[in-house]
Structure 1
């Protein structure tokens, strides 16, 4: 029995959003060990946006954008990528990649609470139960003595939480904002704006800039993986799945990415995984499942 081309594409696409997006935490951790965080993130997104615009031109996709759309993509790019991603890269100097991925998996919880506070939307019983489990999981995750005793861990965890609020607010913002109708072009402009902002921050902080030829081999490969796989291939797979399968199935990446990040961090970087972290992960992801299973998804791709 032969497997259809569509089935193969779906399998490969799920592999992309599960494994590739899950591995971006590891790749960022490796790169930030040798490169300044905001310079790293700026190079990644500026290069990715350039490649997106080239592909769009070759594919004869219109790059036209109105002034209002440009303003909105700039706001989204700042919230999603400049603050939401760039500052997470900075936090990875202090926090393990798997730990960061687990904390970020609670983003649906933050979105739900913001919708309640900003728009007055009621929280259903199932979602409320998910919120309770989410808080228990986060408490178990961040309350470990061996983690709290390490230098910079509390600052890193607090910073990542601030980034989650930024992502959550951005998710609500783009749901109503006037943005380019083509998701590929929309992401290209968001990456361009986010990369420019990150470059300015890097200059203000007086980070040292360098040519890729001077980077260590593992950093070069990590950056290549972030640009080609994390920003382009996985994003394309994400959009393909949104048009092919149900949004609920696509959203399962929320549960798989942290597990992939934990395994890769342990395997490649020898990051320690405690029993309490495993229990916290199970409780937290169960809570996220209860929240997501009771919502109608309107997923937005913004690059990881």
Structure 2
């Protein structure tokens, strides 16, 4: 068993590396398509992929009550979270800053869990909360300063943070006990309906400029993120690695910022870089030795 765990040690790192490219794919494709149209196509293609996997493995389908919980999770985790963050990127919020803000999800989740009496926080974790929040503030101020703060896209990114946090807490309480393949199918179905309605309502007259870059962004988002990354997460759940991978998530904003600098020349000031490092430290402190009440 120990040898098997060592042989699978690459899985959490591969998952986080893939996950960090999520907003890079958005930045790559959104110049040629509306954010909700992009997501509706992505969700539709993802449904086809998971439908094929379900046809191969034939897992059990959840009952109606459990399916409703998966729909709610999908609406928050994939529909509202991705919809708001992609719309923010469309409104010129840098991909690195978007990744940093939504990367604070473990901190917000920890605070809300503490308020609901489900989790105890140590003094070191409270220090992490303060450091993480201060780091995020420095990143925002060091990116485009007050001009970015006046951008409505920034508030959409904050909405995305709230959506992924609420979805995480909801799934923890109501979304357990469902086969990962059929559960993901139901979640993506809800996200497809939400993004499809938003695309039809807000972007019906917008042109789609098909080209190789847009096709690459869609293909990567579907195969690498919505399918491969989720399958890696399923494997981690099977191997009992989900608690460990949480500690790797603080790397995601930094990886995304480096990728955005390399691909799109997104510049971060020294103040923003210091803030990103502080935010990573804060999240790491919060994630250490969380103690959940039974």
Asked if these proteins are the same fold (TM beyond 0.5), I'd say yes
Structure 1 residue 33: deviation in Å?
Answer: 1.5
SS of 1:85's equivalent in the other structure is helix
In the other structure, the counterpart of 2:187 is 190
Deviation sequence 1:264-297 (CA, Å, 0-9, x none):
1001111102111111011111111111003158
Q: Structure 2 matches for 1:71-82, cutoff 5 A?
A: 71-82=68-79
Deviations 1:215-262 (A, max 9, x none): 111110110000001111111112212332533431233122212211
How far, CA to CA, are the matches of 2:241 and 2:212 in structure 1? 40
Task: For residue 209 of structure 1, report the CA deviation from its aligned partner.
Answer: 6.6
Cα distance change, pair 33–128 in 1 and its aligned pair in 2 (3 A): same
Picking from 120, 125, 128, the partner of 1:127 is: 125
User: In the superposition, relative to structure 1, how do residues 289 and 15 fare at CA in structure 2: closer, same or farther (>3 Å)?
Assistant: closer
The whole-number CA distance in structure 2 between the counterparts of 1:208 and 1:10 is: 47
Provide closer, same or farther for how the CA distance between residues 294 and 179 of structure 1 changes in structure 2, counting only shifts above 3 A: closer
Gaps of 5+ in 1: 298-304
Asked whether the 8 Å contact 2:67–2:183 carries over to 1, the reply is no
Does the 8 Å contact 1:114/1:169 carry over to 2? no
Contact 2:97 2:257 in 1 (8 A): yes
Higher mean C-alpha displacement, 180-189 vs 129-138: 180-189
Query: 1:65 is matched with which residue: 54, 62, 66?
Result: 62
Match of 2:43 in 1: 45
Are 1:233 and 2:228 counterparts?
yes
Compared CA separation, residues 145 and 259, structure 1 to 2 (3 A):
closer
Matched, 1:136 2:129: no
Paired with 2:160 and 2:73, the residues of 1 have a C-alpha distance of: 13
User: How many Å separate the matches in 2 of 1:285 and 1:50?
Assistant: 36
Report the Cα distance in structure 2 between the residues aligned to 1:106 and 1:130, rounded to whole angstroms: 11
Q: CA RMSD in A?
A: 2.3
Question: Which residue in the other structure is 2:87 paired with?
Answer: 90
Cα contact 1:116–1:122 (8 A) shared by 2: yes
- The answer to whether the Cα contact below 8 Å between 1:36 and 1:207 also exists between their aligned partners in 2 is no
Deviations for 1:89-128, whole angstroms, at most 9, x for unmatched residues?
1101221111111111111111122223344755331221
- Post-superposition Cα deviations, 1:160-207, rounded to whole Å, max 9, x if no partner, equal 112111211111111121555211221121011111111011112143
Deviates more, 1:245-254 or 1:228-237: 245-254
Distance in 2 between residues matched to 1:206 and 1:179, nearest whole Å: 35
Alignment CA distance shift 1:119-1:260 (3 Å) = same
Whether the 8 Å contact between 1:27 and 1:225 is mirrored in structure 2 is yes
- What is the aligned length? 289
- In 1: Cα distance, 2:78 partner to 2:71 partner: 10
Mapping for residues 171-190 of structure 1, pairs under 5 Å: 171-178=168-175, 181-190=178-187
1:25 maps to which residue?
Answer: 23
Change (3 A) 1:171 1:53: same
Does residue 1:104 correspond to 2:102, yes or no? yes
For the 8 Å contact 1:38–1:199, the answer to whether it is kept is yes
Shift in CA distance, 195/119, structure 1 to aligned 2, threshold 3 Å = farther
TM-score, structure 1 normalization: 0.87
Structure 1 partner of 2:276: 281
CA–CA distance in structure 2, aligned partners of residues 186 and 209 of structure 1: 33
Output one character per residue of 1:52-93: Cα deviation in whole Å (capped at 9) or x when no partner: 12111112223x232212211111111111111111111012
Using the TM superposition, name which of 245-254 and 100-109 deviates more: 245-254
- CA separation in 2, counterparts of 1:262 and 1:200? 31
Match in the other structure for 1:160:
157
For residues 140 and 225 of structure 2, the distance between their equivalents in structure 1, rounded to whole angstroms, comes to 27
TM-score where L is the length of structure 2: 0.90
